[in-house]
Amino acid sequence: MSKGMDSFPFSAIVGQDDMKQALLISAIDPGIGGVLAFGDRGTGKSTAVRALAALLPKIRVVKDCVYGAEPLSGRCTCEACAAFDPGKPRLSRLVPTPVVDLPLGVTEDRVMGALDLERALAHGEKAFEPGLLARANRGFLYIDEVNLLEDHIVDLLLDVAASGENLVEREGLSVRHPARFVLIGSGNPEEGELRPQLLDRFGLSVEITTPVEIDQRVDIIRRRAEYESNPEVFRKKWSRKEGAVRRKVSQGRAQLEQVKTGDQMLTRAAELCVALNTDGLRGELTLIRAARALAALKGDKQVDVHHLRAVAVPALTHRLRRAPLDEAGAAVRIERAVSEVLGDD
Amino acid sequence: MTDPVETAGTNPPEHADVFDALQALLVFAVDPVGLGLCVRGRHGPGRSAVLRAIKSLYLDTPFRKIPCHIDEDRLLGGLDLGATLAAGKPLVSQGVLASTHDGVAVLSMAERLPGRTITHLVHAMDTHRVRLERDGFSSILPARFAVVALDESGDDEPGLDPRLADRLALQFDADRLSPEAVDELPLTPADLLAARKGLRDVTMPKRVIEALCRTALGLGITSMRSAMQCVQAARVLAALGGETEVGDEQAGAAVRLVLAHRAVQLPIPEAEEESTEAPPDENKADDSNAESTEQKPLDDQLIDAAMAALPDGLLELLASGAHRERSAHVARTGAAVQGPRGRPIGDMPASRDARLNVLATLRTAAPWQKIRGADKRLAIRRSDFRTTRRKSSTQSVNIFVVDASGSSAAQRLSEVKGAVQLLLGDCYVRRDQVALIAFRGASPELLLAPTRSLVRAKRELANLPGGGATPLAGALDATRELARQVTKSGQRPVVILLTDGRGNVGRDGTPGHADSAQHTEAAAHELRAASVSTLLVDVAKRPRGRGRDLAVALNARYLALPYASSQSIVEAVQASGVAA
């Protein structure tokens, strides 16, 4: 699945612009902290995530390193990395950015890694078999139906996501390894709430609704049918558009450093968060980062009000305190504050 | 599935139901993985026959029953402790999902499946794979299987988990199915192969996709999946009929099979009906046979198809006063029970390579079952065989035949009028034409020739006085004559007869007790011979007597109008979403 080569093209997805924009922004700046896509059944949430894998630029990793460590600066404890002389350049190769599925029903030993049972039984060796967190290092970890994830797995994820490394103390093993990943989650809120601690880990959250426009629905059905009947031909047909999106992502990544954020914009972002009374600084930081990533995606050199406006809802929706006197939904309240603080378009 | 409201009574054998169920089964057989099936009803001969039929179609594939209490280990797989200890190395035991690959998963008591099981199941259904990340094992196994869910929930129970229901396109009730009908499913493995092969080449005009999308939304079905399934079912139906392009008829049938049981609302006309003589989007003359290039007619046909497949809850609704979001339609028999059309190829020796159109054949045979004395087995004769696609039907004309005589006491008459009002609302939604025949005194009277003007129909109905003798035989004759005219003009007559079945006037209009009963019976047989879809609503205070006999003589659907106050009629009118 991390190949992304056998998936529906991202560029062929009809509508769902909010989700597509959020995913692309996350791809440009993984530091934003991922995307939570919540909404109706059958709206292609997982299709979009799987399609994203094909758009991600390749990354350079130390040859044979199980954690995909960065060749220049990555500190790593694995056997392959330990074999290199310190200070000498390490052999490296290009690999696709990992996109790892965390399936429901996963057991703890497979999430964090555990004693390699086969080697233990066959040879009496005590070896560590890395888990999914190792595989997801420097990539994306995708959890479909994230709101149905079992509590002890959630705890484990929260711990690792906060520290960026996985610490294993079990079955007589003591192992630590880097585990930095962008969390992507999707789910249907009707089937269960998401724990607030986990909700807070997501940089952006988008709400997904079923399209009710006939034209859109007809397009969805026709493209889907075309894809099903011959995926190869369909992907070829979309390959130019797909290539254009892929280029936008890699150019955006390259330009992200150069995007300027003026003091005025920082002030505006702060004012917006004050007006909305968001929790802590995280919302403000996410807002700025997302606005920068969006500017980079669009090829703009400077963050302006349009960028802030476009990312306000996904960056802040899940960070609002419940307002007992305000019946309106979070998105509506943000829209109101945006037009007060940033003015209308 | 039996309704607690006993007044509605049981109907004569429902070949429309049988037909729908068999059709769903055939469609499922062609694309089992893509569509999926939910069989409602308790354990019984009908359900067993369905499972037998599915088994016989997939002889060499795994057929796994998944019990509702299955645990995660067995579902997904994991460490096989016994084998691991014996072999001295870790061995994995394959889960049920993976071992059902290329087969059929049968979910017994599917409505009781716990949420977690559903989660894993639908994930496998969506991706055709099972990801195993358990007990130190990491693997991806293929798991492409068809799902047959057995839903035993009652009408007042929640039923399937919405995530599962959303992914199963087809649904029918097995309770009313006779095992013989299923066992003789007219489908050979060769037919199945041919249909599957043909399916790849079936195209779908954009206009039909648009109409299906609009229909789904009109019925309040927002799920994208349902719309896609409906498109796929229409393609399968075309493949079964040997077509290469989906036509209006297949679209209609797909709506009946996939959308009808999901409908949560009726497409409500926007304009006030008092102010419009005709439905808002039809400002043409009453030329019903116009096959214009606009999409409207197809939309209407599709809505028609959905309505016709809705359960007949309307009159029971009156009795129970229960509010349901569903409205029902009277002419349910209309869609499935039609006279033979299309081109029979007569004698069909096996050497001929004309392809039999299974669906059309079944449909042709359906209305004749009773006459041929079929009780359980479907009686299919050579004359039923169809190889050509028949032109789809045009417009329905609902002929209301109202008994306004003394035996239908005055207070009953007002209830009858209420019921007709309600049914008129349905006709309005469906853009059907209506005609009104009333009978009392010496002879029946055509109060209203076929029209789309509901205002006029209501006015005539309101002014209808009651009392006098009951010229039932004459009314049947008049009905037959009107039905003949309607048929001649290319439309489809549907008769809704509201009476207690007690005629006391001869066919010639002379009040004569002695032979009025025979006259009535003779007239009934002649009307039946014209094979017009008929619904008899028994308005007797104590139904089940002569009304029932008359329904049998007419081969009509039978419903008893329960003893309802006008208040409950008003409530039902509001509940059905049709402005009174």
For B255-284, the DSSP string reads: IIIIIGGG--S----SS-GGG-SS-TT--S
Q: Which residue of A has its CA nearest to B117?
A: A105
DSSP string, A163-201: HSEEEEEETTEEEEEE--EEEEEEE-GGG-PPPHHHHHH
Residues B285-303 have a mean pLDDT of 52
> Cβ of A191 and B204 within 8 Å?
no
pLDDT score for B267 = 57
pLDDT of A327 higher than 60: no
Per residue in B347-376, pLDDT (tens digit) is 332 223 344 555 556 656 666 666 666 555
Q: Which residue of B has its CA nearest to A192?
A: B115
End-to-end CA distance of chain A, in Å?
A: 41
| Contact list, A145 vs chain B (CB under 8 Å) | 119, 123
Residues B521-525 have a mean pLDDT of 86
pLDDT of A279 higher than 50: yes
Q: In a mutagenesis test of the A interface, which of B126, B133, B201 is the best target, namely the one with the most A β-carbons within 10 Å?
A: B133
pLDDT score for B376 = 55
**B97 contact partners, CB below 8 Å, separation of at least 6:** B75, B76, B77, B105, B120, B121, B124, B130, B143, B145
Per residue in B50-98, pLDDT (tens digit) is 998 888 877 678 889 999 999 888 999 988 878 877 887 888 889 999 9
B567 versus B545: the higher-pLDDT residue is B545
Q: Which residue of A has its CA nearest to B164?
A: A41
pLDDT score for B82 = 80
Spatial separation of the C-alpha atoms in residues B343 and B384, rounded to whole Å: 10
Residues A185-199 have a mean pLDDT of 83
Distance, in angstroms, between B244 CA and closest chain A CA? 15
Task: Say what percent of chain A tops pLDDT 90.
Answer: 50
Q: CA-based angle B316:B320:B324, to the nearest 5? A: 80
Spatial separation of the C-alpha atoms in residues B444 and B436, rounded to whole Å: 10
Spatial separation of the C-alpha atoms in residues A138 and A2, rounded to whole Å: 13
Catalytic residues of A: 282
In DSSP terms, which residues pair with B344 in a beta bridge? B386
In DSSP terms, which residues pair with A143 in a beta bridge? A185
Quickly state the pLDDT bin for A330 (edges 50, 70, 90). confident
Average pLDDT taken over every residue of chain A: 88
Spatial separation of the C-alpha atoms in residues A326 and B304, rounded to whole Å: 44
Q: Which of A291-295, B393-397, B537-541 has the highest mean pLDDT?
A: A291-295
B84: left (phi over 0), alpha (psi -120 to 50) or beta: alpha
Maximum C-alpha span of chain B: 98
> Cβ of A229 and B200 within 8 Å?
yes
Assign A54 to helix, strand or coil.
coil
B191: left (phi over 0), alpha (psi -120 to 50) or beta: alpha
Quickly state the pLDDT bin for B554 (edges 50, 70, 90). confident
pLDDT of B335 higher than 50: no
- Residue pointed to by tokens 């302006």: A304
Interface of A with B (CB under 8 A): 1, 40-44, 46, 101-107, 109-111, 114-118, 121-122, 129, 132, 144-145, 148, 188, 190-191, 210-212, 214, 217-218, 220-222, 224-225, 229
> Cβ of A107 and B133 within 8 Å?
yes
Tokens of B267: 């497409």
Within a 10 A sphere around the Cβ of B353, how many other Cβ atoms? 5
Assign B138 to helix, strand or coil.
strand
Average pLDDT taken over every residue of chain B: 73
Q: Which of A246-250, B168-172, B513-517 has the lowest mean pLDDT?
A: B513-517
Q: Is B126 exposed, middle or buried (0-12, 13-18, 19+ CB in 10 A)?
A: middle
Closest CA to B233 of B265, B204, B194, B262: B204
Q: In a mutagenesis test of the A interface, which of B129, B196, B213 is the best target, namely the one with the most A β-carbons within 10 Å?
A: B213
Tokens of A283: 């919302």
Quickly state the pLDDT bin for B168 (edges 50, 70, 90). very high
B14 and B331 in contact (C-beta within 8 Å)?
Answer: no
B211 versus B315: the higher-pLDDT residue is B211
Spatial separation of the C-alpha atoms in residues B163 and A104, rounded to whole Å: 16
Residues B313-321 have a mean pLDDT of 30
Interior/surface letters B234-258, b for 16+ CB within 10 angstroms, e for the rest:
bbbbbbbbbbeebbbbbbbbbbbbb
B235 versus B13: the higher-pLDDT residue is B235
B219 and B265 in contact (C-beta within 8 Å)?
Answer: yes
Per residue in B459-495, pLDDT (tens digit) is 787 788 888 888 888 899 999 999 988 888 777 888 8
pLDDT score for B280 = 36
| Contact list, A216 vs chain B (CB under 8 Å) | none
pLDDT score for B535 = 79
Closest CA to B317 of B1, B7, B543: B7
> Cβ of A105 and B76 within 8 Å?
yes
Residues A58-67 have a mean pLDDT of 88
pLDDT score for B295 = 42
Assign B54 to helix, strand or coil.
helix
pLDDT score for A240 = 96
Spatial separation of the C-alpha atoms in residues A19 and A204, rounded to whole Å: 10
Quickly state the pLDDT bin for B234 (edges 50, 70, 90). very high
Quickly state the pLDDT bin for B289 (edges 50, 70, 90). very low
Residues A112-126 have a mean pLDDT of 83
Closest CA to A138 of A84, A76, A49: A76
Tokens of B464: 């209808």
A7 versus B37: the higher-pLDDT residue is B37
Closest CA to B34 of A5, A1, A225, A210: A225
Spatial separation of the C-alpha atoms in residues A188 and A315, rounded to whole Å: 19
Quickly state the pLDDT bin for A266 (edges 50, 70, 90). very high
Q: Is A5 exposed, middle or buried (0-12, 13-18, 19+ CB in 10 A)?
A: exposed
Distance, in angstroms, between A121 CA and closest chain B CA? 6
pLDDT score for B185 = 74
What pTM, to 2 d.p., does this model score? Answer: 0.66
Q: In a mutagenesis test of the B interface, which of A45, A148, A217, A222 is the best target, namely the one with the most B β-carbons within 10 Å?
A: A217
In DSSP terms, which residues pair with B38 in a beta bridge? B149, B171
B458 and B421 in contact (C-beta within 8 Å)?
Answer: yes
DSSP label of B95: P
Spatial separation of the C-alpha atoms in residues B232 and B33, rounded to whole Å: 12
Q: Which of A11-20, B182-191, B409-418 has the lowest mean pLDDT?
A: B409-418
Residues A299-307 have a mean pLDDT of 94
Nearest CB to B131 within list A103, A221, A224: A103
Tell me phi and psi for residue B37, to 5 degrees.
-140, 140
Residues A23-35 have a mean pLDDT of 94
End-to-end CA distance of chain B, in Å?
A: 30
pLDDT score for A259 = 96
Helices (H), A194-329: 196-201, 214-229, 231-255, 263-276, 282-298, 305-316
Distance, in angstroms, between B204 CA and closest chain A CA? 9
> Cβ of B213 and A214 within 8 Å?
yes
Hey, which bits of B335-407 come out as E strands?
396-403
Q: Is B63 exposed, middle or buried (0-12, 13-18, 19+ CB in 10 A)?
A: middle
Contacts 24+ apart (CB under 8 A), B125-128: B125/B36, B125/B167, B126/A46, B126/B167, B128/B33
| Contact list, B138 vs chain A (CB under 8 Å) | 110
pLDDT score for B191 = 84
pLDDT of B263 higher than 50: yes
Residues B555-560 have a mean pLDDT of 73
Q: Which of A197-206, B203-212, B549-558 has the lowest mean pLDDT?
A: B549-558
Tokens of B379: 């009686």
Q: Is A285 exposed, middle or buried (0-12, 13-18, 19+ CB in 10 A)?
A: middle
Closest CA to B442 of B508, B513, B374: B508
pLDDT score for A325 = 58
Q: At what angle do helices A231-255 and A282-298 cross, to 10 degrees?
A: 110
pLDDT of A253 higher than 90: yes
Per residue in B498-507, pLDDT (tens digit) is 888 888 887 7
Task: Give the strand pairing for B37-40 and B146-151.
Answer: parallel
Closest CA to B170 of B249, B58, B248, B54: B54
Closest CA to A97 of A138, A132, A63, A129: A138
Nearest CB to B133 within list A1, A106, A117: A106
Q: Which residue of A has its CA nearest to B78?
A: A107
Q: Which residue of A has its CA nearest to B167?
A: A42
Residues B569-573 have a mean pLDDT of 39
Q: Which helix (H) or strand (E) holds B93?
A: strand B92-94
> Cβ of B88 and A191 within 8 Å?
no
B509 and B445 in contact (C-beta within 8 Å)?
Answer: no
Distances (CA, A) of A114 to A160, A166, A179: 16, 12, 15
Task: Say what percent of chain B tops pLDDT 70.
Answer: 67
Assign A125 to helix, strand or coil.
coil
Quickly state the pLDDT bin for A3 (edges 50, 70, 90). very low
Q: Which residue of B has its CA nearest to A44?
A: B224
* B3, B36, B50, B101 alpha-carbon torsion, rounded to 10°: -140
Q: Which of A89-93, B431-435, B542-546 has the highest mean pLDDT?
A: A89-93
> Cβ of A148 and B116 within 8 Å?
yes
pLDDT of B324 higher than 60: no
Spatial separation of the C-alpha atoms in residues B519 and B506, rounded to whole Å: 6
In DSSP terms, which residues pair with A63 in a beta bridge? none
Nearest CB to B135 within list A46, A107, A229: A107
